[in-house]
Every structure is written in C-alpha cells, then in structure tokens.
Chain A
C-alpha cells in the first residue's frame, strides 16, 4: 500500500469496536467488547500521524512507545509491534482492556483536538492478544546477578515491578495471599471486562520467560512477615493493594443481604459463584439490589448483579429484578469511567442520584427488606473544589431492596504492617513512600500502587511498580545507596 498523506489519514474515521448486544450480554459473563479484527486494527493504525513529539506517550503512565508499535502494526510487522510494546509494557492485553485511555494516552492524542483520537487502547489490546496467541517475543532476562528480590502482592503493581526487576537478572519471588496471582485483575474486575484467561495467560507467560517464582497461599503478616523477608532478600517491594472494605456506619449494616463489593465480586470473579453449583461458592443477588457508591467497583458490582439476576431468571422462569446504583452526588461527579456507566445503563441498571442511605431495614429473621434514604442537594464547593452533598430536610423515603452492596472504597490491609517496625503509615492507613522511587521509610523496602495511594487505578499501580523497579535495579547495581 502506498504511504498515505496526513490529510488522507485524517479522513479515516475512528474504527468502532464491536460489542455484545446489551440484552444478550445481560445474561452471560462473556467479554462485552469483542476486539478488532486484523483488517480493522490495520485501518485504525493508519490514522496515527506519527508525531515527532508524541504527546500520547506523555499521557501513558508507563511511557509505552506508542508511535513505534503502531508503525510496526501498519507495516504488517506484528512481531515488531510486540517488541516495541514490550520495551515498556509487559501486560498489553490487560492494559488495553482496563486503562482509562480517555484520560491518558488518547486524551493527549493530537487527533482528538479536532476529531476523535487514535484508538490506542484497542490497538494495544490487539497487540497483546496477538502475542498471547503467537508468542513471538519471549521476554529475556540479563545474566543472573545473584541478588534476590521479594515482591509481595501479585496485582498490577507487583507484577509490573517483578517483571522489570527480573529482566535485570535478579531472582524474583512473588508472595500472594490468595490461591492464584493477579490481585484485583482476578478477584475484582469481572470476566466480561477482563477475561481471566487473558490475565492468567499474560502472568504465566511473563513468569515463565523470566523465571519468576510465585508462592500462593502466603499471607504477609501471618504466614510470613516483612522482617522475615528482609532477612532473606536483598530488596522487598510491597504491592499489597488496598483490600480492606469500608462499610457505612448506619444501623442495619450487619443484616443478612448486606455485603461489601469486595465480598460480592470475590464470590463472583475469583470463586466463580455465577457458575454455582458447578463451582462450590454460592453468590446471591436478590430481586432488588442496591449498590451504594458510583466508582468503577460499584459499576462492576451492579453489572455482575444484573447478570446473576438474569441467569437465575433464565433457570427459574422468574422475573429478573432490578439493580440500582445509589449515589449521594449527581451524574457529573460519578467517579466511574463514562464507558462503564454507559454499559451499565445499556444493561438496565437504574441510577438513583443525589440519594443517601441512612438505615438498612430488616425483617424478624434479620434479612434486608429495605433501605431508608434521604435526598441530597449539592452545596457550595469545598476546599478541594468538589460540591458537598447536603441532606434535604424532610426528604426521607424507603426503598424496597433485599440486597445492599457497599462499594464505598477500600484502604490497605493492616496485616501488611505486622512485624514491620519502621514501615511508616499515614493516618489513612497507607504506607508512606516516595512517589518517584517508591522508597518507604524502612531500609530496603519499596512500596507502590494502592497500598501507597489508597484505591486508585490499575495503570497508576503499574506506573508505581515500574518506577520502584527502576530504583530497586539502581540500588542493587550499587548505582544508588539507601
């Protein structure tokens, strides 16, 4: 094909990604976004203007060589695209699916100024999936250095750090409290957004290529403590996340049918509760589910609830029921990605905005039967510029619900700090660490991801894992002292 001119490139419309129909997908856990085929991917790749100073790269927390991988793609050199990708990002099939590209790489794409940005995320996903299927570019590590690094937690931060450290030839051992690696990628994000086969595939591949050992069933603070790890390893990275759920302090919080989004999502995703009784772990979503909160976790919980209702209805012939998102602010303040909100709406989730629960109501057997709520209005902006929700007097009303899922955010698990003298923590329970290097106040201990920031995004955790790995590598080489 002849080289296109800039004008010709700009005339190509952004290629849409085919999706499963809303009605159909409400009754299955299959992936919603179906991905590009080769022809569409190539066409989308043609839209990239190959900027001399690519702004898209600045928007990427791990600095993926975006124009390079796209150029290789449109030249039909998929192995080259994979190679360019893996200079900076070892988990493209995951990132391409879960990154909020609109506020990162695509948010900076020059084409977005006048029209629509290049679909960098979709192209990244295509490269990742291609690599998982073809294995063109095995990761290679430098000769063994004899140094040992422990990485605690196998979520996005730990995985990214482990891979970058192992590439330098250091022996990496990862410790995971659950029965398999992946952290939130496995127990939190549902199959229909991020298929577990993709996560397992990408982790196994990286671990095998680089000789990373993964020890499951090891709980930091219980099975092994930080001080014990320091006695055996030259460096320790803590990527333990923020797994401790918050509950509202209102009456009725311990009634049957009230659970944290973490519990609900763990039952659904990690334990495959939606396949009960083929899988042993049961999960219930009643006839009327209220998910309290409006972050990405709330959207995941709501969309899983809708699916479980639909599957149950299919089996029993009953009505599927309702799922509500209950949020105390207005639509403009919803913290979830716009795409997730849109998907939830397509799947029939009802949004009760400017609504706040004040009590959960139960029957004589201790089961949830309703929720007393108040209506809110937005007051003056506070110090952070966010308008504070204020209760409207006399607005109390009852919602009839039988399941309440609390998706109000999470904080780091205090077990991380057991037998870890000198590992400082903030009053929010997060570890104190330098944002650039990931160094904590305890010698030879680095930390990154949600354990430092509190609940944030997959890609910001990956960025933190990457920065810490660079500093660990420099430290182990003797290029920097503690």
Chain B
C-alpha cells in the first residue's frame, strides 16, 4: 500500500497528491510515468510524474477528475493509501542544451511539462513556456512555470485569464519570429492540443515531442493496448514512449482509439455515483 502524504486542490477538478513510493522515486526522471490502482476492484491507469523527491522517497502526481477512477482518487485524503503504484515507466525525456526551446502544457498537461521545463532550463536552454486551459479555474502552477521559464505565455479558451486564444497562437508567433530560432518544442496536454501543436510546427520544420496518454493496462509492454501508429509502423507507448515525434503520429487513429471504451467509462461513473448515493442513503438511514 502506498500512502498519500499530501493533497492539494489546484482547481475544482484538478488535484495534486504526494505519494510515498521510494522504489519509484529512486529512479524517477522527467518524462516518465507511473501506473496507479486505487483498490482491489480498481483499474490500472497511467499518470505522468509531475515531480519527485529521492530523499523523501515521494512522487507527485496531478490529475483531472474525468472518470470513475480519477473521481474516486480525488476523494481520497492524506493518510489514505492506494493499492498499486508502479514505475517509473517509459523513457525519460532527453535533456541537453538545444538552445531555445518551447514547452507547452495544456490543462492537466501543465503538471508533466513542469519537470521537463525545469530540466531543460537547468541544462542551459532558453525556455519559452506556453500554458493554457479552457478557463482560469483550470489553470495552475503559473508561478512555478514562470520560475523555470525565460518567457511565459498564458492562454484561456474563454479569455478569463491571460490571452483569449488557443496555445497554438503564441506558438505560431514565436516560430515566425526569425530572431528566436526555436530548436525544439515539447507539448503535453489533450491529444487534440498535441495534434494541433504538431500541425503548427510542421511547416517550420521544428522537431516536436509529444507525450502520448493512450489507454494502458499493465504499462510494461505485455499487452499492446497502448499501441500507436507512427509513420513507420505501430509502437507501444508504455515502453517505446511515452514521448514521440509529433510529426510522425497518426492522430486520427490515436483519437479514435482513445474513444473505444467511452460507453463503458460513462457506465462506470454512473455505477460509482449510484453506489456512492446508496452508501450515503444507508448512512443517513442509520442515524
């Protein structure tokens, strides 16, 4: 069992947890992920490592409450435990001094882009960061991102904070600025956002790394549930990734595969809320 040592509410639906997992913290690097399972009946879901502390033996995860498991996880508190916490999985981000780089985080993707931006900054890069979300209350870590960036752009879809724009707009301006010479772009966020970032950088021929969040079960390469189509064939996100060249990804296939269990995901939430209400009713009835 892996204990929750700290919990922060970053927005109505975005939560941060620091989990005690020395076996993972010992080896964790920016860009890798973990698989978590809440309890005996739980499913295994992947979450990117947002931060780690080797000395304390902890891993920080950030998640958005989108379905049954993340809703349930969000209800847990400091002192509670989760049944499974395995990692670090996947390849770490390749960090070196590239020159000027752009780090893009969309929504909950701001969390995993943070350690990458930090590592790139520490390696001597000029870091331009662009973060965005649907609205102000879904944004977080603005100050943390500012601290590891030479320049920070903030966008919201509805204009409630920062610029009213999609993250691809400031990206395009940066790329068009001949004086900047962007060497590489990293993008983490919803698949659609990463797709459009890749489409934006393609005409400029700027290498673009995306971190794919596909459906996974084991996360160790034994099932292929996470496989993604690249120009040169299928690969497993959990062992070959999670980072890939965004210009080579078949985004249509990726988006279609993400939606395969949509009905079941809905049913799971309904079942969960139904049992929650039932528990509540029984508890109240017992008074």
Measuring CB to CB, which residues of chain A are less than 8 angstroms from any residue of chain B? 177-179, 215-219, 222-224, 243-245, 247, 249, 253-254, 256-257, 259-260, 262-263, 266-267, 271-272, 276-282, 284, 365-367, 410, 413-415
Q: A217 with B225: in contact, given A222-B27, A284-B261 (CB under 8 Å)? A: no
Determine the chain A residues whose CB is within 8 A of the CB of B228 once the complex forms: 254
Tell whether, in the assembled complex, residue A178 and residue B27 are in contact, meaning their CB atoms are under 8 Å apart: no
* Nearest residue, chain B, Cβ from A365: B256
B222 interface hit (Cβ, 8 Å): yes
Known A217-B86, A263-B225, A276-B264; 4 more pairs at CB < 8 Å: A217-B23, A222-B87, A413-B220, A415-B221
Most buried by B among A254, A260, A271: A254
B223 interface hit (Cβ, 8 Å): yes
Tell whether, in the assembled complex, residue A179 and residue B222 are in contact, meaning their CB atoms are under 8 Å apart: no
Most buried by A among B83, B224, B271: B224
Tell whether, in the assembled complex, residue B239 and residue A414 are in contact, meaning their CB atoms are under 8 Å apart: yes
Tell whether, in the assembled complex, residue A260 and residue B221 are in contact, meaning their CB atoms are under 8 Å apart: no
A6 to B108, CA, bound (A): 76
B88 interface hit (Cβ, 8 Å): yes
Determine the chain A residues whose CB is within 8 A of the CB of B227 once the complex forms: 247, 254
A282 to B85, CA, bound (A): 20
B9 interface hit (Cβ, 8 Å): no
Using an 8 Å CB-CB cutoff, how does the interface string of B202-221 with A read, 1 for contact, 0 for none?
A: 00000000000000011011
Tell whether, in the assembled complex, residue A271 and residue B27 are in contact, meaning their CB atoms are under 8 Å apart: no
Tell whether, in the assembled complex, residue B253 and residue A263 are in contact, meaning their CB atoms are under 8 Å apart: no
Using an 8 Å CB-CB cutoff, how does the interface string of B79-113 with A read, 1 for contact, 0 for none?
A: 00001111111000000000000000000000000
Write the nearest CB–CB distance from B192 to chain A, whole angstroms.
Answer: 15
Chain-A contact segment, one of B41-49, B122-130, B164-172: B41-49
* Nearest residue, chain A, Cβ from B274: A277
B69 interface hit (Cβ, 8 Å): yes
Determine the chain A residues whose CB is within 8 A of the CB of B217 once the complex forms: 263, 266-267, 271, 281
Tell whether, in the assembled complex, residue A414 and residue B221 are in contact, meaning their CB atoms are under 8 Å apart: yes
Write the nearest CB–CB distance from B232 to chain A, whole angstroms.
Answer: 12
Q: A223 with B24: in contact, given A254-B227, A277-B267, A282-B268 (CB under 8 Å)? A: yes
Determine the chain B residues whose CB is within 8 A of the CB of A262 once the complex forms: 222-224
B229 interface hit (Cβ, 8 Å): yes
Q: A223 with B88: in contact, given A179-B37, A254-B227 (CB under 8 Å)? A: yes
Tell whether, in the assembled complex, residue A245 and residue B27 are in contact, meaning their CB atoms are under 8 Å apart: no
Tell whether, in the assembled complex, residue A260 and residue B224 are in contact, meaning their CB atoms are under 8 Å apart: yes
Most buried by A among B233, B239, B265, B272: B239
Tell whether, in the assembled complex, residue A179 and residue B41 are in contact, meaning their CB atoms are under 8 Å apart: no
Tell whether, in the assembled complex, residue B43 and residue A271 are in contact, meaning their CB atoms are under 8 Å apart: yes
Determine the chain A residues whose CB is within 8 A of the CB of B225 once the complex forms: 259-260, 263
Give which listed residue, A278, A413, A414, contacts B41 with CB less than 8 A.
A278
Write the nearest CB–CB distance from B271 to chain A, whole angstroms.
Answer: 4
Using an 8 Å CB-CB cutoff, how does the interface string of B231-258 with A read, 1 for contact, 0 for none?
A: 0011000010000000000101100110
B68 interface hit (Cβ, 8 Å): yes
Q: 9 closest pairs, A vs B, by CB?
A: A366-B256, A243-B222, A282-B264, A263-B223, A280-B43, A217-B86, A277-B271, A281-B43, A179-B84
Determine the chain B residues whose CB is within 8 A of the CB of A249 once the complex forms: 233
Tell whether, in the assembled complex, residue A254 and residue B229 are in contact, meaning their CB atoms are under 8 Å apart: yes
Write the nearest CB–CB distance from B251 to chain A, whole angstroms.
Answer: 12
Tell whether, in the assembled complex, residue A366 and residue B252 are in contact, meaning their CB atoms are under 8 Å apart: yes
Tell whether, in the assembled complex, residue B224 and residue A280 are in contact, meaning their CB atoms are under 8 Å apart: no
Write the nearest CB–CB distance from A154 to chain B, whole angstroms.
Answer: 14
Tell whether, in the assembled complex, residue A177 and residue B223 are in contact, meaning their CB atoms are under 8 Å apart: no
Measuring CB to CB, which residues of chain B are less than 8 angstroms from any residue of chain A? 23-24, 27, 37, 41-44, 68-69, 83-89, 217-218, 220-225, 227-229, 233-234, 239, 250, 252-253, 256-257, 259-261, 264-265, 267-268, 271-272
- What are 13 A-B contacts defined by CB distance under 8 Å? A177-B218, A177-B220, A217-B85, A218-B86, A219-B220, A223-B87, A243-B222, A244-B221, A253-B234, A277-B267, A284-B264, A366-B253, A410-B222
Give which listed residue, A222, A247, A254, A413, contacts B253 with CB less than 8 A.
A254
A223 to B265, CA, bound (A): 30
Tell whether, in the assembled complex, residue A245 and residue B268 are in contact, meaning their CB atoms are under 8 Å apart: no
Tell whether, in the assembled complex, residue B41 and residue A279 are in contact, meaning their CB atoms are under 8 Å apart: yes
A284 to B223, CA, bound (A): 15
* Nearest residue, chain A, Cβ from B229: A254
Determine the chain A residues whose CB is within 8 A of the CB of B44 once the complex forms: 179, 271, 281
Tell whether, in the assembled complex, residue A177 and residue B86 are in contact, meaning their CB atoms are under 8 Å apart: yes
Q: A266 with B264: in contact, given A223-B88, A365-B256 (CB under 8 Å)? A: no
Determine the chain A residues whose CB is within 8 A of the CB of B261 once the complex forms: 282, 284
Determine the chain A residues whose CB is within 8 A of the CB of B234 once the complex forms: 247, 253-254
Determine the chain B residues whose CB is within 8 A of the CB of A247 once the complex forms: 224, 227, 234
Write the nearest CB–CB distance from A338 to chain B, whole angstroms.
Answer: 28
A224 to B264, CA, bound (A): 35
Most buried by B among A222, A262, A276: A222
Tell whether, in the assembled complex, residue A222 and residue B88 are in contact, meaning their CB atoms are under 8 Å apart: yes
Most buried by A among B84, B86, B259: B86
Write the nearest CB–CB distance from B57 to chain A, whole angstroms.
Answer: 13
Determine the chain B residues whose CB is within 8 A of the CB of A178 once the complex forms: 218, 220
* Nearest residue, chain A, Cβ from B227: A254
Determine the chain A residues whose CB is within 8 A of the CB of B83 once the complex forms: 179
Tell whether, in the assembled complex, residue A218 and residue B89 are in contact, meaning their CB atoms are under 8 Å apart: no
A27 to B42, CA, bound (A): 24
* Nearest residue, chain A, Cβ from B37: A179
* Nearest residue, chain B, Cβ from A253: B234
A267 to B44, CA, bound (A): 10
* Nearest residue, chain B, Cβ from A218: B23
Write the nearest CB–CB distance from A454 to chain B, whole angstroms.
Answer: 14
Tell whether, in the assembled complex, residue B224 and residue A259 are in contact, meaning their CB atoms are under 8 Å apart: yes
Determine the chain A residues whose CB is within 8 A of the CB of B229 once the complex forms: 254
Determine the chain A residues whose CB is within 8 A of the CB of B42 once the complex forms: 279-280
A284 to B227, CA, bound (A): 18
Q: A263 with B86: in contact, given A222-B27, A254-B253, A366-B253 (CB under 8 Å)? A: no
A281 to B84, CA, bound (A): 15
Determine the chain B residues whose CB is within 8 A of the CB of A279 once the complex forms: 41-43
A278 to B257, CA, bound (A): 24
A366 to B259, CA, bound (A): 10
* Nearest residue, chain B, Cβ from A242: B222
Give which listed residue, B23, B87, B222, contacts A413 with CB less than 8 A.
B222
Determine the chain B residues whose CB is within 8 A of the CB of A253 once the complex forms: 234
Most buried by A among B217, B233, B257, B261: B217
Determine the chain A residues whose CB is within 8 A of the CB of B223 once the complex forms: 245, 259-260, 262-263, 266
